[in-house]
Amino acid sequence: MKEKLAAFKVEMGEIWDLNMAGALLGWDQQTNMPPNGAEERSEQLATLSKIAHHKATSDEIGKMLDELLVYAKSLEPDSDDARLIRRSKIDFDKMTRVPSEKVAEFARVTTLAQEKWVQARAKSDFSLFRPHLERIVELRREYADYFKPYDHVYDPLLDDFEPGLKTADVKDIFSRLRPQQVKLLQAIAARPQVEDDFLHLKYDDKKQWDFGVDIITRFGYDWNAGRQDRSAHPFTTSFGIGDVRITTRILENLVSSGLFGTMHEAGHGMYQQGLAANLSRTILANGASMAVHESQSRMWENLVGRSRAFWRFFYPKLQAVFPAQLGNVSMEKFYKAINKVEPSYIRTESDEATYNLHVMLRLELEIALMEGTLKVADLPEAWNTRMQEYLGITPRNDSEGVLQDVHWSGGMIGYFPTYALGNLVSVQLWEVINRDIPDLESQIEQGEFGALLGWLREKVHRHGSKFDPQELVQKVTGSKIDPQPYVGYLRTKYSDIYGL
């Protein structure tokens, strides 16, 4: 049976290679491809997707899995091989429900949609993107139908990003989180606002880039196994443990954007770089889920990057790079500015106290689109209405409203909830980390991150997707995803900043 398993891994490796080739084409589209290449690129990605899907759902693979499932019962349940077999069976059963032709069509449609989204966002004109999003929503409904009966039409989409989690689970978590965050925001709004005008002065693009590179190098991002490029919307992609690429976006009139965006994506990148080598070219060579992935990016961005300890080390260096802008600004004033709580239009630029509300807004819109209670044509108005209800502001145009995120152009309906869930997981992990590394704050003050990264490598990264997200969080923290630690973190942090 070991020979059968070895043969299965060869087959899985070839499927992995096809998918990684497609991922490389997708990365190139968002970083280097000229606009006129979209049509042909859509066909290339459709072809690769169809071939990979057809191979992954073949009768031969099905027969091999049936035999290997019996063999898996003789293995230690949490061994890499046992987990690989069981995870492969789950994925096989999902993939065989969807025709290869539909997989190809989805790749084709989303490739073209991504390019139209770039154009629409640049012109702040939702009408350019609308027909493409309408088709994507249709395809996502068709996809969900392949998994009937379901508890909710959104469940199959959510499961692609957060295995095992149901729409009802997310709604329950958010229903417990939302009122506590709203109460905190109301308390903050009653206090004098902190100043942040100096963050909006002109900051040289290259100097910002170089400073961000220095930060994530100190974090432990491996440049021999990665690179950083520019994109309209920052993202991370991986073609293997030895090739994990991140992108960032620099704004000359908002220094915090590029810095924290770079830290965020590096968190994703270091997760992928930290996978156990023996998981390479298998379906386990990925994060446990997008929520767990986001816990890593949000941890490095916020729990580390927005902390006082972090800036005690880095702020004098930032002042030296930008003396005209920051030379007369104290570290404490800078610390409060980068943690300022204020309703904002752009999710990626929002503060920790309002960020989850941006996510909840998107979740509601996605569910309405999937249920058919909201038409794509009405999406801009619905977006603006909810922004006013949730944050008390109304976007002035489509670019800072409904067109701000790249996700829908890629068909990633079901992804957004994972951002907020990742916030919750990050603090659950952080509490355990500080227990295990009692002098962590002191280490961060010295610009030392080796112990932190080492802990994450051992407890989270090396396992890849061996464990479902709730299972992994339970193993590491002792409980499943829970909003209370995050709420406590926010209260403590902002009570200090705003004198609550």
Residue 229 tokens, joined: 């490029």
CB within 8 Å of 481: residues ≥ 6 apart = 173, 291, 421, 424, 425, 428, 469, 470, 473
Closest CA to 298 of 72, 91, 456: 456
Residue 308 CB: number of other CB atoms within 10 A? Answer: 17
Residue 68 identity: L
Pair 117, 126: CB distance under 8 Å: no
DSSP 75-128: S-TTSHHHHHHHHHHHHHHHHTTS-HHHHHHHHHHHHHHHHHHHHHHHHT-HHH
Rg (CA), the chain: 23
Please give the order of strands across the beta sheet that includes 244-248.
Answer: 226-230, 244-248, 236-238
Residue 60 tokens, joined: 């031969």
Query: Is-catalytic flag, 265?
Result: yes
**How distant, in Å, are the alpha carbons of 19, 63, 77, 172, 391 from that of 92?**
15, 11, 20, 30, 42
Catalytic residue, chosen from 67, 115, 138, 265, is: 265
Length of the chain: 500
- Provide the angle, in degrees to the nearest 10, between the axes of the packed helices 255-273 and 205-219: 30
How many Cα atoms sit within 13 Å of 54 on the Cβ side? Answer: 10
**Is the CA virtual torsion 460, 463, 465, 470 positive or negative?**
negative
- Residues with catalytic roles: 265
